[in-house]
């Protein structure tokens, strides 16, 4: 193993404490070195050996930090990402990558100019449910696709007590938050759409940001992909429904990683990332267009450690990163 990558994290809220630090701590290719904590020193309590910085300038002036996780509010991604690149460090950028397409292009141009990598963090590509969909598609049993429905549903009636999430600033709302995951899923599996249509709404009392969004993507082959994200779905429908000429696949959103981390289960626990036995996807298809076959498709174990393995390989071994520049630019173009 080559020298570990000294890594700093710009925020220790939900993202930092659940989706980044636990995996950086366990992956041998990384040294969880520093966290920016302006007031409460929660990360320092959990990880006593880290440096807890009070200011962004002191953080970025530390020459030991090679990689920075930008996991601050969406509207700050462009400004902070640019500062990190200009300070000579690589970036892992939380979703949404930026608010606007011009911002995304500028960050990639700056990274190229400074010979740094900027790597989008799309963790849902490493979920067991998404991976089961990918495997079914690669099997070819569905045939040419006709219609696909991807959903990201939650039920969160009350407004967040975090003012930054409920403020009507660019990048806030369910389209940029949950919608970025499902749009990325569509682009990663089916490529770039040739056209799209969006609608959104605000339904929770006193909300100032969208809590419902629907995006319709059209593809050259005639495939239609319907994407929905909502915070007011009391009884969620399947998250993945795919119809092809030869069959169909239906899968709930069942990846357990987020819930397990919240429950204190570490990523190196033998049960981490394993779905319940009754959560298999259902694959239905016709052999030769005649014989109907129905299979339960169990999901393999999933782990976000694989994200950081891909980041490590990109930085240390120059391997192509799974989330490409063109995919990110198309996602932000659609979101914007």
Mean pLDDT in residue range 9-21: 95
pLDDT value for 150: 98
Mean pLDDT in residue range 207-236: 97
**244-283 per-position pLDDT tens digit:** 999 999 999 998 999 999 999 999 999 999 999 999 999 9
Evaluate if residue 157 carries a pLDDT over 80.
Answer: yes
Q: Is the dihedral of CA 190, 301, 227, 172 positive or negative?
A: negative
Evaluate if residue 167 carries a pLDDT over 90.
Answer: yes
In this structure, are residues 184 and 150 in contact, taking their beta carbons and an 8 Å threshold? no
Q: Please give the Cα distance from 196 to 300 (Å, whole number).
A: 33
Residue 258 region, left (φ>0) first, then alpha (ψ -120 to 50), else beta? Answer: alpha
pLDDT value for 262: 92
pLDDT value for 248: 98
Q: Is the dihedral of CA 255, 258, 259, 263 positive or negative?
A: positive
Q: Please give the Cα distance from 51 to 32 (Å, whole number).
A: 9
Evaluate if residue 228 carries a pLDDT over 90.
Answer: yes
Mean pLDDT in residue range 315-323: 98
pLDDT value for 39: 81
Evaluate if residue 289 carries a pLDDT over 80.
Answer: no
CA distances from 155 to 10, 151, 171, 204 (A): 29, 13, 20, 11
Mean pLDDT in residue range 93-117: 98
pLDDT value for 225: 98
**77-96 per-position pLDDT tens digit:** 999 999 999 999 999 999 99
In DSSP terms, 80 is beta-bridged to none
pLDDT value for 165: 87
Mean pLDDT in residue range 30-40: 93
Residue 231 region, left (φ>0) first, then alpha (ψ -120 to 50), else beta? Answer: alpha
- Least confident among 39-53, 55-69, 85-99, 140-154: 39-53
Q: What is the pTM of this model?
A: 0.95
pLDDT value for 178: 97
pLDDT value for 299: 92
Mean pLDDT in residue range 126-140: 97
pLDDT band at 287 (very low <50, low <70, confident <90, very high): confident
Residues 6+ apart with CB under 8 A from 196: 215, 216, 217, 218, 334
Evaluate if residue 1 carries a pLDDT over 90.
Answer: no
Mean pLDDT in residue range 57-83: 97
pLDDT value for 164: 83
Evaluate if residue 185 carries a pLDDT over 70.
Answer: yes
SS3 string, the chain, reads CCCCEEEEECCCCHHHHHHHHHHHHHCCCEEEEEEECCCCCHHHHHCCCCEEECCHHHHHCCCCCCEEEECCCHHHHHHHHHHHHHCCCEEEEECCCCCCHHHHHHHHHHHHHCCCCEEEECHHHHCHHHHHHHHHHHHCCCCCEEEEEEEEECECCCCCCCHHHHCCCCCCCHHHHCHHHHHHHHHHHHCCCCEEEEEEECCCCCCCCCCEEEEEEECCCCCEEEEEEECECCCCCCCEEEEECCEEEEECCCCCHHHHHHCCCCCCCCCCCCCCCCCCEEEEEEECCCEEEEEEECCCCCCCHHHHHHHHHHHHHCCCCCCCHHHHHHHHHHHC
Of all residues in the chain, the percent with pLDDT exceeding 90 is 94
């Amino acid at each position: 193993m080559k020298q570990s990558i000294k890594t700093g994290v710009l925020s220790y809220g939900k993202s930092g404490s659940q989706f980044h630090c636990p995996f950086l701590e366990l992956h041998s290719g990384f040294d969880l070195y520093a966290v920016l904590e302006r007031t409460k020193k929660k990360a320092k309590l959990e990880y006593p050996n880290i440096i807890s910085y009070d200011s962004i300038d002191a953080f970025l002036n530390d020459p030991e930090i090679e990689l920075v996780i930008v996991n601050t509010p969406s509207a700050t991604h462009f400004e902070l990402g640019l500062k990190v690149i200009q300070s000579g460090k690589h970036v892992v950028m939380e979703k949404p990558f930026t608010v606007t397409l011009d911002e995304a292009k500028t960050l990639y141009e700056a990274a190229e100019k400074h010979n740094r990598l900027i790597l989008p963090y799309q963790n849902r590509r490493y979920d067991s449910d998404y991976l089961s969909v990918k495997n079914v598609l690669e099997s070819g049993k569905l045939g040419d696709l006709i219609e696909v429905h991807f959903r990201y549903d939650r039920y969160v009636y009350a407004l967040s007590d975090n003012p930054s999430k409920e403020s009507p600033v660019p990048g806030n709302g369910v389209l940029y938050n949950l919608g970025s995951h499902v749009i990325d899923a569509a682009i990663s599996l089916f490529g770039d759409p040739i056209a799209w249509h969006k609608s959104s709404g605000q339904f929770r009392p006193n909300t100032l940001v969208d809590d419902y969004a629907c995006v319709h993507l059209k593809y050259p082959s005639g495939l239609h992909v319907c994407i929905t994200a909502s915070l007011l779905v009391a009884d969620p429908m399947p998250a993945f429904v795919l119809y092809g000429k030869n069959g169909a696949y239906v899968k709930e959103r069942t990846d357990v990683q987020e819930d397990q981390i919240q429950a204190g289960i570490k990523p190196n626990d033998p049960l981490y990332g394993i779905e319940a036995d009754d959560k298999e996807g259902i694959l239905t298809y016709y052999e030769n267009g005649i014989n109907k076959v129905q299979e339960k498709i169990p999901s393999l174990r999933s782990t976000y450690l694989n994200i950081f393995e891909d980041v490590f390989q990109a930085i240390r071994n120059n391997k192509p990163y799974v989330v490409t520049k063109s995919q990110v630019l198309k996602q932000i173009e659609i979101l914007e």
